């Protein structure tokens, strides 16, 4: 449900950078999002298509690069991706670990003409 607010921010940030670069049109926006960050890709594109007409980003496609959650075991240092409800280290079976990836949420780049 917060995708509308997120999409407004994505549009605002992308347009700001495109205008600063003197671009006439934006064709693509590349977004990096970790699986531990909450946003639904299709929903963001839906709102974007609704919000972007009349801006230089009109018609731009959003591309989401998903980053899987990745943990580092606090006991043995093994790095692993948790699978569903299994958050145990595959090596020593201790529970959970320090999050080293999966919480990203940023605009990586834009393509302009």
Three-class secondary structure assignment of 74-107: CCCCCEECCECCECECCCCCCECCEEEECCCEEE
Q: Under the criterion CB under 8 A, does residue 6 sit at the interface with other proteins?
A: yes
Site for other proteins in 91-110 (CB under 8 A): 94-97, 99, 103, 105-110
> Which among 36, 84, 44 is positioned nearest to 64, based on CA atoms?
44
Binding positions for other proteins, rule: CB under 8 A: 1-2, 5-6, 9-10, 12-14, 17-18, 21, 23, 27, 31, 36-38, 69, 74, 82, 84-85, 87-88, 94-97, 99, 103, 105-113
């Amino acid at each position: 449900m917060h995708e509308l607010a997120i999409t407004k921010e994505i549009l605002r940030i992308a347009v700001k950078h495109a205008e600063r670069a003197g671009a006439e049109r934006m064709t693509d926006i590349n977004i990096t999002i970790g699986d531990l960050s909450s946003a639904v890709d299709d929903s963001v594109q839906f709102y974007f298509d609704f919000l972007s007409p009349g801006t230089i980003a009109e018609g731009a496609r959003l591309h989401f690069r998903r980053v899987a959650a990745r943990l580092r075991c606090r006991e043995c240092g093994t790095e692993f991706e948790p699978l569903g409800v299994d958050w145990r280290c595959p090596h020593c079976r201790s529970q959970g670990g320090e999050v080293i990836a999966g919480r990203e949420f940023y605009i990586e780049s834009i393509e302009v003409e």
